[in-house]
């Protein structure tokens, strides 16, 4: 194979990518995710854990207090999160329905030292994001009032309360899981999946547009044509993945071992690209090749995720700096698979190339 011919094919495919709207839209989507990762983290986290938004809210919410005066009223009035209005229960509930209030708290006429329990009723709006935030902020105040009641009724407690000292955490669990467990692996591996699907289109279009015979009538051989398309798709992966990592860092996300992450993604992506090329060479029809490859890719990804040291898990550990010596073992195994696939692709492309020459 001649390097000049490979570069000609690769440049031709790069120019053709500018006309591929599907590929460009996919790249722009990843660009949007990388640029606004912090904003998306807040939005996506709120979908499965709305209470996590409470730490981002600095507003004062208007709530109503109805019923008997208690220490709870004092706690609410001294809180910086709420603006408390004392009113009748019926009037407060009516204002809540009109969304003039964020919540209504009703405290019955039960003395703190009474035998009966103090049953506090909280009225909120259903299926409302603000309600989740208000409930989280009210929870701490209710717990404080509960402790006050326990102290007043301490003489009636028959069991000793065991104080469990739980170390304080730094917070940010939702951010950590979203960014390092999902966002980084998704962004850096998505270019590999796109490139593997792209190489199928680049090869099968030569058959469907009937331009293959014209192409191989030039000094460029069939094998060089295949490898030129593979190289064009492979070059896109580290460029895109590197850009996403830079944008994430600009967003304030700390990513360690970025060089090793790019190396692992580049080598792993070559496996997918070579598999896509082999699929395209075998079926030579875009729809069938894409369907078979997509189905096989899902199976391969599920199998890889079942492994303890799978590439996605390894990327997460590399990003946070906890990857051990197994990263080199995984990289070595991945490179060995690449070498085997390169030999298979070379052999299969030469076999098909001879068929076209004799035909």
Count structural domains, the chain.
2
Residues 6+ apart with CB under 8 A from 47: none
| Judgement on whether residues 252 and 104 belong to the same structural domain of the protein | no
pLDDT value of position 31: 65
| Judgement on whether residues 25 and 61 belong to the same structural domain of the protein | no
DSSP SS3 for 163: coil
Each residue's pLDDT tens digit in the chain (359 positions)?
A: 666 666 766 666 666 665 655 556 666 666 665 555 555 555 555 554 555 555 555 678 899 999 888 888 888 988 888 999 999 999 999 999 998 998 999 998 888 888 888 899 999 987 666 787 788 888 889 988 888 888 887 776 666 666 666 555 554 455 676 677 777 887 788 888 888 888 888 888 878 777 766 666 677 788 888 888 888 888 888 888 888 788 778 777 788 888 888 998 899 899 999 999 999 988 888 888 889 988 988 888 888 777 777 777 788 888 888 877 777 888 888 899 999 999 999 998 888 877 765 55
What single DSSP character describes residue 256?
Answer: -
Beta bridge partners of 65: 86, 105
pLDDT value of position 160: 64
pLDDT value of position 91: 92
pLDDT value of position 250: 79
Tell me whether residue 40 is in a domain.
Answer: no
Whether 81 contacts 137, CB under 8 Å: yes
- Return the number of other C-beta atoms located less than 10 Å from residue 358's C-beta: 6
What single DSSP character describes residue 220?
Answer: -
Q: Give the residue among 141, 144, 106 at the shortest CA–CA distance from 123.
A: 106
Burial class of residue 240 (count of CB atoms within 10 Å of its CB; 0-12, 13-18, 19+): buried
| Judgement on whether residues 180 and 133 belong to the same structural domain of the protein | no
| Judgement on whether residues 98 and 137 belong to the same structural domain of the protein | yes
| Judgement on whether residues 204 and 336 belong to the same structural domain of the protein | yes
What single DSSP character describes residue 104?
Answer: E
Domain that holds residue 91: 51-156
Rg (C-alpha) for the chain, rounded Å, is 31
| Judgement on whether residues 324 and 199 belong to the same structural domain of the protein | yes
pLDDT value of position 7: 74
| Judgement on whether residues 187 and 259 belong to the same structural domain of the protein | yes
- Return the number of other C-beta atoms located less than 10 Å from residue 109's C-beta: 9
CA dist 194 and 176 (Å) reads 26
Q: Give the residue among 188, 265, 150 at the shortest CA–CA distance from 34.
A: 188
| Judgement on whether residues 189 and 308 belong to the same structural domain of the protein | yes
pLDDT value of position 4: 67
| Judgement on whether residues 239 and 102 belong to the same structural domain of the protein | no
- Return the number of other C-beta atoms located less than 10 Å from residue 13's C-beta: 21
Can you give the CATH number for the domain in which 133 is found? 3.40.1710.10
**What sign has the CA pseudo-torsion 131, 37, 179, 306?**
positive
- The structure tokens listed for 145 are 């009032």
**What sign has the CA pseudo-torsion 217, 222, 228, 234?**
positive
- The structure tokens listed for 149 are 């009641």
pLDDT value of position 335: 92
Tell me whether residue 161 is in a domain.
Answer: no
Q: Give the residue among 201, 216, 251 at the shortest CA–CA distance from 355.
A: 216
Residues 6+ apart with CB under 8 A from 184: 245, 248, 253, 255, 261, 315, 316, 319
pLDDT value of position 204: 87
Whether 269 contacts 235, CB under 8 Å: no
| Judgement on whether residues 320 and 252 belong to the same structural domain of the protein | yes
pLDDT value of position 81: 86
Whether 63 contacts 104, CB under 8 Å: yes
Q: Give the residue among 151, 69, 65 at the shortest CA–CA distance from 109.
A: 69
CA dist 79 and 73 (Å) reads 10
| Judgement on whether residues 30 and 176 belong to the same structural domain of the protein | yes
Tell me whether residue 255 is in a domain.
Answer: yes
Tell me whether residue 234 is in a domain.
Answer: yes
Residues 6+ apart with CB under 8 A from 331: 263, 264, 267
pLDDT value of position 43: 52
- The structure tokens listed for 231 are 């190289």
Domain end residue (candidates: 87, 121, 156):
156
Tell me whether residue 162 is in a domain.
Answer: no
């Amino acid at each position: 194979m001649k390097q000049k011919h490979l570069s000609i094919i690769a440049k031709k495919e790069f120019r053709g990518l500018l006309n591929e709207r599907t590929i460009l839209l996919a790249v722009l989507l990843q660009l949007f995710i990388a640029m606004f990762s912090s904003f998306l983290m807040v939005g996506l986290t709120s979908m499965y854990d709305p209470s996590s938004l409470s730490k981002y809210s600095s507003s004062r919410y208007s709530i109503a207090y109805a019923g008997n005066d208690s220490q709870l009223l004092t706690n609410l009035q001294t809180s910086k999160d709420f603006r408390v209005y004392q009113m009748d229960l019926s009037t407060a509930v009516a204002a809540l329905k009109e969304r003039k209030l964020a919540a209504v708290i009703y405290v019955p006429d039960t003395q703190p030292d009474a035998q009966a329990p103090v049953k506090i009723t909280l009225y909120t709006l259903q299926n409302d994001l603000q309600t989740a935030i208000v409930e989280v902020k009210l929870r701490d105040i209710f717990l404080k009032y509960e402790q006050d009641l326990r102290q007043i009724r301490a003489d009636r407690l028959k069991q000793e309360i065991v104080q469990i000292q739980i170390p304080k955490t730094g917070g940010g669990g939702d951010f950590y899981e979203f960014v390092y467990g999902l966002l980084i692996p998704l962004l850096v591996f998505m270019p590999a999946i796109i490139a593997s699907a792209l190489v199928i289109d680049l090869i099968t279009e030569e058959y469907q547009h009937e331009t293959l015979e014209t192409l191989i009538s030039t000094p460029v051989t069939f094998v060089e044509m295949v490898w030129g398309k593979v190289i064009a798709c492979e070059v896109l992966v580290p460029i895109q993945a590197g850009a996403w990592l830079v944008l994430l860092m600009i967003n304030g996300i700390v990513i360690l071992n970025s060089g090793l992450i790019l190396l692992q993604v580049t080598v792993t992506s070559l496996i997918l690209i070579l598999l896509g090329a082999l699929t395209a060479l075998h079926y030579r029809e875009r729809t069938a090749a894409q369907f078979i490859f997509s189905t096989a890719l899902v199976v391969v990804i599920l199998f890889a995720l079942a492994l303890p040291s799978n590439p996605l898990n390894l990327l997460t550990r590399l990003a946070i700096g906890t990857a051990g010596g197994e990263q080199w073992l995984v990289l070595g195994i991945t490179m060995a698979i690449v070498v085997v696939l390169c030999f298979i692709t070379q052999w299969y492309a030469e076999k098909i190339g001879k068929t076209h020459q004799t035909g």
